[in-house]
Structure 1
Amino acid sequence: MTQNWSGVLIRHLLLVVAAGALLGLITGQYGWAIAVALAAYLGWSTWQLLRLHKWLKNHQPDEAPPDGYGLWGEVFDSIYHLQRRNQRARGRLQAVIDRMQESTAALRDGMILLDRDGNLEWWNQSAERLLGLKSPQDGGQPVTNLVRHPRFKEYFEGEDYREPLELPSPISDNLRLQFHITLYGAGEHLMLVRDVTRVHQLEQMRKDFVANVSHELRTPLTVIAGYLETLLDNVEDVNPRWTRALQQMQQQAGRMQNLLNDLLLLAKLEATDYPADNKPVAVDLMLLSIRNDAQALSGARSHRISLEADSKVKLKGSEAELRSAFSNLVFNAVKYTPDEGEIRIRWWADEQGAHLAVQDSGIGIDPKHLPRLTERFYRVDSSRNASTGGTGLGLAIVKHVLLRHRGTLDISSVPGKGSSFTCHFPPQQVESRA
């Protein structure tokens, strides 16, 4: 109540008391006269209050309030104007909501709103088409009951939505969908579903092309390498002028065979999501074998290679794939570390999972190259790669092996001081050995 209304009420009460006093002066009963005046004023106020209640309860839209006088008239008018403002505000908000619903309905991507527990609150028509949702019976259902793929359940409950998830549609295996979840508000979820079938088909065509070409090239390359080896084994029967040429041909044939082997391995890794031979692997023994191979690769370069491995920590996965990834990291450290440099290999576990770190004192990598190191055939320095005989696929293989084991790769480097490659594996991939 404003200051003016308070003054009006006080004046009204003073007038009622004055009228009661005047009536008491006439009748000689001051107490009863004032009491009757106050009771009359209270009755009149109660009647106005009942009129207000009846209007609020039964009024139609845009219906004017009942006529009032004085203070009650101002109350009626104020409530009426407040209602009109609220109606206009609701109209504007409803118009915005209608436009939003129309625009989201026109999207080709599915849009789904989920509460903090993952239950469906709202979705557009594209979500119905892509996921087979049915309105209104699916409202309030947990999204994991409608998208029943194990990887989606793991993705949703993990709450790590930095990267999207790609899965087949629940209604058709021929339809490929990409799920991207964003958190907002008090833990609510906004899920975008995009049809990436065409992109997936193009990617599959690329993979099939690379795999088929690699297989087709393998046989003629094996024949060429075999004849070159035969000629070099009988080098005394060959014109001396051809010896160096044959040696270079054999070297390049070997590089091409290594390249084809890496391409075929990548094609195999991309064929499935998880390794078939998923079993606990004794990583400490594997790293010991890799360290010995790295020491032999170092040879006269005399690298100092140290190993710290927790023998109690085992990793679930494919031993062959993990050996390929870990050896790639260690052998790269040997290749790019100057003579008598230091290489440190560590394997440990904590509450975040298991970790493998390969740290060297090599030439280092410029920070601008770090985000692209795991791309296929990406070359930081072409001359450096040529001198070491690399195929440019080593770190791509590492990345795919880690993805198949739910792992991630962190790379840090300082030019001139060395590099550190760290593999992180989640707790569900770790098994402790007594």
Structure 2
Amino acid sequence: MPLRFTLLALLVPPLLVSALLVLFGHPAGAIAAGLVTLAGSALALGTSRVAMERQLRALTQKTQSLAAGMDVAPPAGLERTDDLAQLEDAIDTLDDKLSMRAAALNQEARILTAVLDGMAEGLWVTDAEGTVVRHNDALAEMLRPANGAIVGQRPLALIRNEALNDAVARACHEGASTRLELTLEGLYSRTLAVRVTPVGRDLPGSAAVFHDVTELRRLEKVRKDFVANVSHELRTPITAIRGYAETLQGGALQDTQVAPKMVEIIHRQSERLSELVEDLLELSRLEAREMTFERTQVPLALAVSRAAEGVRPKAEGKNQQIGLHVPPELVAMGDGRAIEQVLLNLLDNAVKYTPEGGRVDVDGAYEGGRCVVRVRDTGVGIEPKHLSRIFERFYRVDKGRSRDMGGTGLGLSIVKHLMGAMDGEVKVESQPNVGSTFVIFLPTAAGPTAATG
């Protein structure tokens, strides 16, 4: 309270009492009465001031505690004036409203964080200077910075890419949006499609969304390679058929010595073309999971015997021996037709790449709770650098030799897909100029006793 108001409160009552005593004819007692009144006023004012200060201190302490997030009860027995009580109630109401608002904002922030961290795409937000101020978990997984920190870093410190750094600068200073694609080098390189935009709504800074398109780009490359390989494989027999057909039309049809040879070549190339188309269709159905497989008990000795009969004429033509060593009790669980096709493809390759007078053997046994069949040949073998890619579509160790022998380049890829569809697997072991061994593993249909025998 200002000093003038304090003096006014002290002096007015005694002056008023003294004036009244003088007015009523008691001037002698006016001074004494005034002094007594002054003392009473001073005492009352002092007592009131002390009480007011206690209430104000209590209110101040409570307000500071509320600001710090703590709820403190007022001192016991403290009386409040009506004005201070109203002020305290107003502060309590304001605190309740602010607490509700803060809780709502906290809930919104938690929801936003959960949404951002649940995204498969990486995201960062920068301030007006381009410094990252926020990011989600997906971005941390993509970038994996050496020091583990992303917040507080500049784009160029996180990703060494000038185009991305320039895009962030344009978004912050010019409000421009940019799309770009970049590659993260490392043990496993990744391709990221990035969109950089200003934050918007008159807010400073920029936002960047990172899409991992590594698998998409790989599939695009596979598709392009596949189309190129198919085009090449189709072009060879079609060119041969067209060339010999035009030669026959040009007059060679009347040549009794040349014409039959040309017709035979046309027939052979048309068969190759038909095999290629059939293999392509089958591989497409396998990859699209459009084929249905029956899971039945398949005696592998019978399946191997049937497959061997399919290649025996070709083996006899090359003076090759085929040995079958599969016990009759070896029974697998799978699709009989698919297992025979797998064995036929492996035996056909073995005969094809084994020179005249060579040998092909098929062995079968229970191993590790599975049925195992090995197709061994004494052929040209495969160099180690080719083994990891031998089951890829159209992959050939020796392209010229494979085409001369009539292969489509799809047989082993079909084998791999068929085995995968039957919960099996196929492996290869080979040494150049010694031979190759293709091993297939199938679930066993026998009980535990047979599996351990």
Q: What band does the TM-score fall into relative to the shorter chain? A: 0.3 to 0.5
Larger Rg: 2
TM-score by length of 1: 0.47
TM-score by length of 2: 0.45
